[in-house]
Structure 1
């Protein structure tokens, strides 16, 4: 029965039932599509073909039997614009993850096991406890206090699937995906169009949601922000670079710290104030400079911006190229998984972009 997959593909496309009806040139009504989703009826081969084309999936995808259940979604903001937007985000998440798992299965690879803290979730009874949680996860993963060159790669190595999706009102979300006869898969979805410094902070923020047990009365978003700052910029590392007490930090120093830690000017200054390295006067003056230069508004064009693709998750792409090169999937399947045309895929394979 195609109900679950049809509903998922429609949600991932952001289409309503009536919009699907229009997209297939009124071959069937919106009510009929709804019946397919509820497994009350099956489409004919012609309608199935039209639905697959309209939803940018294959017929085989719609007919496949495996199902996943999205569980424990935690949005970066406390609310999302609408139920339709929520369905779109969840649909994108499952759609992308299933493509990811398809490639792992084709290569006979087991998903990397989530390297979660042995002690369980870190209790956060006040915002400052998030600092200890960030330090503990760095110790657990053997990271020391050094900057993290590529956070998306690190998290994937630790068993978290990182997906890049066309999010709108949110920068990221944390989810746990349940798969039939399998362990829950931790997932972080980030906004594809976000600037790289923002992606890094979002990844660290969502990791905070995954490893902390924020107690009642504590603002979970502020705790996750504190975790992200501490995880990306350990206090000892900042002290080593700029000292423990400053009356002001120059833009030149901020640029150097930005390149070192992969964090925005704003995130660095917030961190320095949280740690007492600078006082309120310096904090206000620096943010006045940021405002005057337009760095606090989209597209956040600070000096020294990271390459837009630097924090792009690439493991699925690498595995897909490997599967194609080894002949375990076809060009058309690889193109479907990566969301590309066969021509674009061929160009990527034959003429890889140089770093």
Structure 2
């Protein structure tokens, strides 16, 4: 029995309109519309044509309804500037990643969500409150992916075909998700993770206004304050810092030179003129579009890495997991790209330090 919504989900995942799918498959536009609305059911031969065109196993189309990510709860950064089909494709990819999480959650005991809901405090105060709750004090934030996962956030990567979409966060019921662009610099990735944390904390699961200019400014301010606590920056940085001082100090908080410059201005350690001057020089050195001589070690997932290593010891291969979800291994890997210490098909060693950093993660047994 074909599930109509799965045809729609697969089509949106590939970024196709009904008309484009019609041209690709040779099926009429009316027939495809009928299949997606459930007015008629496709024959087995038609399902095969759809599967081939959309890159999904035939079994995918006959599973139960999938709990999609809520369309209105996603923290899109440039919603009005990004084509709807691109947003739909990213949301569909996120929905499939959330389904992978559901499967993992059935096999393992994952950390419970531990995020406060702070809709009233300003961003600076909200960041301080989260830091206090998580016992960070004024120290530099550790690995941001590890930190989010340790507090119950499910972190996945955006697939390569959705990199036009900025990272985003969303609550699905009581579970928070963050989707990161793992092709950015390490420093930018840390800021993105903190930015999305700000959305989750300040624009909670019931807030319908989690995107837009005001929400983005709030999330940026939260990320800046979370990664660079005021007391720490004031204790390390002089007023009127020069470019070489900014470049030397940015490693303290593992942030980009531009982010630190903005924070210095925000804390009145740089005047407006000094801020513009430092930004101009950094831009001339390539720091506006990249992070020359930046951090090299990408922050990876402790949960996903440990999950697939534990499964491997049980004789469960990534291909087996993908088959359970009725998706291809390539589709599943796109959710994990850059977040695991090794590709999910390979082995690799684990250091004692890495093992100590991981949260408790136990296989559920009956």
In the superposition, the TM-score normalised over structure 1's length comes to 0.81
* Structure 2 portions without partners, runs of 5+: 323-328, 335-341, 355-366
Report the Cα offset of residue 233 of structure 1. Answer: 0.7
Question: Equivalents in 2 of 1:221, 1:116: separation in Å?
Answer: 19
> 1:210-242 CA distances to partner (integer Å, 9 max, x unpaired)?
2126999x9322221111000001112212322
User: What is the aligned partner in structure 1 of residue 125 from structure 2?
Assistant: 132
Change (3 A) 1:232 1:347: closer
- 1:151 corresponds to which of 144, 165, 169: 144
Pair 1:278-2:270 in alignment: yes
User: What is the aligned partner in structure 2 of residue 264 from structure 1?
Assistant: 256
* Structure 1 portions without partners, runs of 5+: 179-183
Q: How many residues align?
A: 329
What SS does the aligned partner of 2:35 have? Answer: helix
Change (3 A) 1:67 1:123: same
In the superposition, the TM-score normalised over structure 2's length comes to 0.79
Which one has a larger percent strand, Structure 1 or Structure 2?
A: 1
Change (3 A) 1:317 1:2: farther
User: What is the aligned partner in structure 1 of residue 230 from structure 2?
Assistant: 235
Question: Equivalents in 2 of 1:230, 1:163: separation in Å?
Answer: 24
Change (3 A) 1:9 1:318: farther
92-101 vs 345-354, greater mean Cα deviation: 345-354
1:1-355 matched pairs, under 5 angstroms: 1-24=2-25, 26=26, 28-71=27-70, 72-77=73-78, 79-105=80-106, 107=107, 109-117=108-116, 120-124=117-121, 129-166=122-159, 167-178=162-173, 184-212=174-202, 219-243=214-238, 246-251=239-244, 253-297=245-289, 300=290, 302-307=291-296, 310-313=298-301, 315-328=303-316, 331-334=319-322, 335=329, 338-339=332-333, 348-350=345-347
RMSD after superposition: 3.0
Report the Cα offset of residue 39 of structure 1. Answer: 1.9
Q: Which has the higher contact order (CA 8 A, sep 6+)?
A: 2
Change (3 A) 1:139 1:160: same
Kindly indicate whether the alpha-carbon contact (under 8 Å) linking 1:131 and 1:227 is maintained by their aligned counterparts in 2: yes
